[in-house]
Structure 1
Amino acid sequence: MTTRLPLILLLNIAGLALFLSWYLPVNHGFWFPLDSGIFHFFNQELVKSRAFLWLVAITNNRAFDACSLLAMGYLMLSFWRQENAVGRRRIVMMGLTMLLAAVVINQLAQALIPVKRSSPTLFFPDIYRVSELLNISTKDASKDSFPGDHGMMLLIFSAFMWRYFGRKTFVLALIIFIVFAFPRVMIGAHWFSDIAVGSLSVALIGLPWCLMTPLSDRVIALFDRYLPG
């Protein structure tokens, strides 16, 4: 992989523009009515449909987060099973590189983004909370929801799948992203813009320097060289 600097800078500019479209306007400009409308639509559905209430509660339980790990692991396992010993080891090293990138990008985002934002369930008065409607452990609130870290991790996974396994795998990874990231929006633990702006802008700024340069390949080679077989 050669460094594709013009495309990297273009993606960085797109990510920065996306973030500033939310950060600079008073009350976040057009993003706030969109966020508010999406939250209140799903919030009203909680008391209209018992089935929807249970669906949202279950998909925001910590056990469902483990299902996202299983889905990502199964997708990678499907490629691992087709490889010989050398190819399997490389996939494992790629997975470790992906985890390292996710940790570094997430920590930098939390440290550098000058935003601390409560979830809509803590922002709006007189709303419904799943934890009060059902006696079930579920995540329906966050004191610091921006950027959406769960969505960010899933986007990083999707980008790595595209880089190392191609576009078809990227589409499957995006389906995993939608299935496991957007229940947080439906329950009100995240605003829509926490993911559409926060997670995506971080991915657009951070990931190109990892995946569109030799960096990720070099880290994989480094792990392959020094980690035991």
Structure 2
Amino acid sequence: MSTKRWIAVFALTILGALLFMSWLIPAQSGFWYQVDAGVFFYFNHLLGESVAFRYLVAFTNLRPFDAVAFLFMLGIFYQYYRRQDRAGKRWMVCIGLTMLVTAVIAKQFDMAMDFSRPSPTKFFSLQGVPVLRVSELTGWPAKDWSSTSFPGDHGMMLMIFSFFMLRYFGRKAFFWSALVVVVFSLPRIMAGAHWLTDVVVGAGSISCVVLSWMLLTPASDRVISWFNRHLPKKILG
């Protein structure tokens, strides 16, 4: 592995650590808190102003809607899968399994952090600040409240998918994947079930560390090769 690649790995690892520390040190104050509160109250105000926006946010925060993000990712993945020969399709199955391994590793970082940060709807309600909840406004069982919102698991999984697509299929695949990250991370933020920094700092810092070591080193290639060797031959053998 080249020196430049190692420099990139260590730089991204440090960037991830610094990003996390920039949020942690001035907890619930300082720059990130101001950004978080501003974003939350902007969308919370819109929930009261626009009926169309209110129901859009409610719909996109229903539990079944989470499957839509998965279907979009599957659709992007399938566009590349269908172009492969038999060996290439087996290779892509191995990439998919490697993404799952990476997600498990990233989850360990999440568990190690062990933060119990309430969502903005809960946080401000406990502070006695009146806030709007889309589930109460619409009567729909939309997710708009959480006792442990940091980091954003949903955003983290989407980021893992996006950067794997960049690593193995190029910029065009990354563009569409990144669009999925933005579109499907926003609903939780707009509803107040997540702070902006749950995704930007929480998911972003973990992704910087885990994905730099997985994708910029030979690690992901080796895991893919391991699956390719050990999966039953009948699976696209």
| TM more than 0.5 | yes
Greater than 6 Å deviation, 4+ residue runs: none
2:68 is aligned with what amino acid?
Answer: C
- Once the two structures are superposed, the pairs formed by residues 165-204 of structure 1 within 5 Å of their partners are 165-204=169-208
Whole-Å separation in 2 of the counterparts to 1:13 and 1:109: 15
**Aligned AA for 2:161?**
F
Superposition deviation, residue 131 in structure 1: 1.1
Once the 2 structures are TM-superposed, how far is the Cα of residue 221 of structure 1 from its aligned partner?
A: 1.0
Alpha-carbon shift at residue 111 of structure 1 (Å): 2.3
Q: Distance in 2 between matches of 1:189 and 1:102?
A: 21
Residue pair 1:22, 1:28 contacting (<8 A) in 2 also: no
Partner of 1:101: 102
After superposition, the Cα gap between the structure-2 partners of 1:26 and 1:221, relative to the gap in structure 1 and judged at 3 Å, is closer
Partner of 1:71: 72
Gapped regions of structure 2 (runs ≥ 5): none
CA contact (8 A) 2:102 2:210 kept: no
Give 1:2 shift: 6.1
| Structure 1: gaps (5+ residues) | none
Query: 1:57 corresponds to which residue?
Result: 58
- Residue-pair matches, total: 228
TM-score, length-scaled by structure 2: 0.93
The 3-state SS of whatever aligns with 1:30 is helix
User: 1:71-103, CA deviations, whole angstroms, 9 ceiling, x for partnerless residues?
Assistant: 000001000111110001111110011011112
Residue 132 in 1 paired to residue 118 in 2? Answer: no
1:159 aligns with 2:163: yes
Q: Is the 8 A contact 1:2 1:213 kept in 2?
A: no
- Give me the TM-score of the superposition, normalised by structure 1: 0.96
SS of equivalent residue, structure 2 residue 194: coil
2:110 corresponds in structure 1 to: 110
How far is the alpha carbon of 1:167 from its aligned partner? 1.1
| Alignment of 1:122 onto 2:126 | no
2: CA distance, partners of 1:26 / 1:127:
21
CA RMSD of aligned residues (A): 1.3
